Structure 1
Amino acid sequence: MTHTLLFANFKGGVGKTTNSVMTAYELSKLGYKTLVCDLDPQANATQLLRRTYTLQHNEEMAFPETMMVALKNEDIKPAIVEVMKNLYLLPSHKDFVNYPDFLELKYLANMPNYKERRISYFNNQLKQVQNEYDFIIIDVPPTLSIYTDSALYAADNVIIVLQTQQRSLDGAVAFWEYLQTFYNEHSTIDFDILGILPVLLKNNAGLDNQIIKDAKETFGDDLLFNTIIKHMERLKRYDRLGISEKGKTSKHDFHDEKTHEIYIQLTKEILNRLKENKHA
């Protein structure tokens, strides 16, 4: 069975892309064949994995076809690239900014069910390769858009990323409310909210603890992940140089070990929550 996960929040800069990619990375290391779909025209997930590929292989990643071209051709498989064992990427590119216009021209406003046909298009293409993967993780921009709706239509589980600042909490609440509206409006979809993932703005700060307390009161204790992603400078280096680890790169050190330990912990909690939901 393939699990399709979406990390999201309406507030930008909360760590959606970092947590999406790091979770995908650790899933692949645990032996799960994982595909990252970058549905953000800014292509941050693509750049992080491109740099990771270069760091580990000492060569640039080749992109035989852009995702936009592949979607137009109704065959996304040629656009998928292998980053490392068990980890694959459906990369974004600057031409993906044309995706909304493509859908508007393909499904005109006078066509029956045109809105549903637009937001389901990506999911229909993804289904062609879905069974080849254990996990599909989708990264989206922090906006209410056709990109987010397309990802929601394809997802079966959503993780709301909550950075410990008021605007992020407000964005999480707004996204929670939007999820409920979206779910009620589309009878053909079925997703669960897997949890709220706290990401610390600063370690051991009073505001961090207060935001987490407010989130528990808003969403309930059970919905918040037990794993808390602490503020780690190493993640900034990953954005610039790619993900490093022992046995893969000469630049690995104990900071990498600590970073991977936290994300392995998060990944295992995600697996446990998926298992519990299956038996619920």
Structure 2
Amino acid sequence: MDIPDVVKAIQSRDEALTIVIGNQKGGVGKTTNTYLIAYTLAKMGIHTLVADLDPQANATKTLMLTKSQQEDAVYSIKKTLMVGVQEKDLTDLPVKIMDNLDLIPSYIDFQDFTKYLYQNTNNEYEETHLLEPLFNPLKKKYDVILLDVPPFSIEITRNAVIFSDFALISLQTHDDSLSGAEEYVNTLSKLQQEYQLDIEVIGILPMLHDARNGVDQTIIQSAKDEFGEENVFTNIVTQMARIKRFPINGITDKDRFDKRVLDKYQQVTDELLSRIGLFIDDKEAK
């Protein structure tokens, strides 16, 4: 299935294809991958929602800055994800960032999610399924939902995995990130078995920690040995200084440095869609 056909297949679904982007360790590029893949999907005409499930709210900050860049105005968030969870309604939360790209904003108050979870559930099933019914109405409004989850909250991770179709694992090339990927896959496997989930690992996306250091290639090879070469993206996100500017200024497309980053993420997103196409083909064959 070629990419235009995958796009059509995604757009023709009754519910959004939902992808959780994760790793049990922090600082491995999860948030960067989330908003740049989302931005690319939106540019391709795919109606995309980013749900920022991280109390640090870095995806929220970057995308709200992107909105300000697009519209030359400053915006504030009227309602956060945690308030939506408490009200048991997320449908009025999405903020339009640009054409085809919306955001469910997070804020520091989402650090209270775990306390709220245990105070408002009676068993483990309810604990892991609290967010699913809140996202179900949103699934009917979008083509793709990308979930940005924090590294150290197993409660948020479990809730996100429950209603996701795919998991994309972000791997920055250092040892902690690889062990975090292994822990994340183990978490997915346990949840799959316990709740008979249909979630699949769509792949592992490497981001170079230091392109001049031979350790990077060693970590990538270790990931291929551990998870299978076919499960590691062939497109690797190299170090680019402009990526570090986006959280300060928002995502821009003004010069060759911007375009270098956006071209790379077009390649990454194309590979992501190709991998999704393989799963669609496999399901249709069954």
| Number of residue pairs the alignment of both structures matches | 268
**Residues 144-187 of structure 1 deviation map (CA, whole Å, 9 limit, x = unaligned):** 42111111112110011111111111111121122111211223
Summarize the alignment of residues 7-22 of structure 1 with structure 2, pairs less than 5 Å apart: 7-22=21-36
Shift of 1:205: 2.9
Letter of the structure 2 residue corresponding to residue 133 of structure 1: Y
- The equivalent of 1:30 in structure 2 is 44
Alpha-carbon distance between aligned partners in 2 of 1:137 and 1:57, rounded to the nearest angstrom:
23
**Residues 6-52 of structure 1 deviation map (CA, whole Å, 9 limit, x = unaligned):** 11111110100000110000000000000000111111110111111
Alpha-carbon distance between aligned partners in 1 of 2:198 and 2:237, rounded to the nearest angstrom:
28
- The equivalent of 1:197 in structure 2 is 205
Alpha-carbon distance between aligned partners in 1 of 2:263 and 2:61, rounded to the nearest angstrom:
23
2:228 is aligned with 1:226:
no
User: Counterpart of 2:130 in 1: which secondary structure?
Assistant: helix
Alpha-carbon distance between aligned partners in 1 of 2:81 and 2:221, rounded to the nearest angstrom:
41
Contact residue 63 and residue 79 of structure 1 kept, 8 A? no
2:147 is aligned with 1:147:
no
2:76 is aligned with 1:62:
yes
Shift of 1:105: 1.8
Residues 54-63 or 90-99, more deviating: 54-63
Summarize the alignment of residues 98-113 of structure 1 with structure 2, pairs less than 5 Å apart: 98-107=112-121, 111=122
User: Counterpart of 1:160 in 2: which secondary structure?
Assistant: strand
Alpha-carbon distance between aligned partners in 2 of 1:206 and 1:104, rounded to the nearest angstrom:
45
- The equivalent of 2:244 in structure 1 is 236
The TM-score with structure 1 as length reference comes to 0.93
Shift of 1:222: 0.4
Alpha-carbon distance between aligned partners in 2 of 1:139 and 1:200, rounded to the nearest angstrom:
20
Runs of 4+ in structure 1 over 3 Å off: none
RMSD: 1.2
**Residues 198-233 of structure 1 deviation map (CA, whole Å, 9 limit, x = unaligned):** 110122431111111111111111000111011111
Identity of aligned residues (%): 35
Shift of 1:64: 2.6
Alpha-carbon distance between aligned partners in 2 of 1:117 and 1:61, rounded to the nearest angstrom:
35
Ranges in structure 2 where 5+ consecutive residues have no aligned partner: 1-12
Letter of the structure 1 residue corresponding to residue 95 of structure 2: V
Alpha-carbon distance between aligned partners in 2 of 1:33 and 1:88, rounded to the nearest angstrom:
8
Summarize the alignment of residues 1-280 of structure 1 with structure 2, pairs less than 5 Å apart: 1=13, 2-107=16-121, 111=122, 114-187=123-196, 189-245=197-253, 252-280=254-282
Letter of the structure 2 residue corresponding to residue 59 of structure 1: A
User: Counterpart of 1:190 in 2: which secondary structure?
Assistant: coil
Ranges in structure 1 where 5+ consecutive residues have no aligned partner: 246-251
Alpha-carbon distance between aligned partners in 1 of 2:26 and 2:114, rounded to the nearest angstrom:
20
Relative to structure 1, the CA distance from residue 5 to residue 172 in structure 2 (aligned partners, 3 Å threshold; closer, same or farther) is: same
The TM-score with structure 2 as length reference comes to 0.91
- The equivalent of 2:5 in structure 1 is none
Alpha-carbon distance between aligned partners in 2 of 1:33 and 1:134, rounded to the nearest angstrom:
5
Alpha-carbon distance between aligned partners in 2 of 1:69 and 1:202, rounded to the nearest angstrom:
40
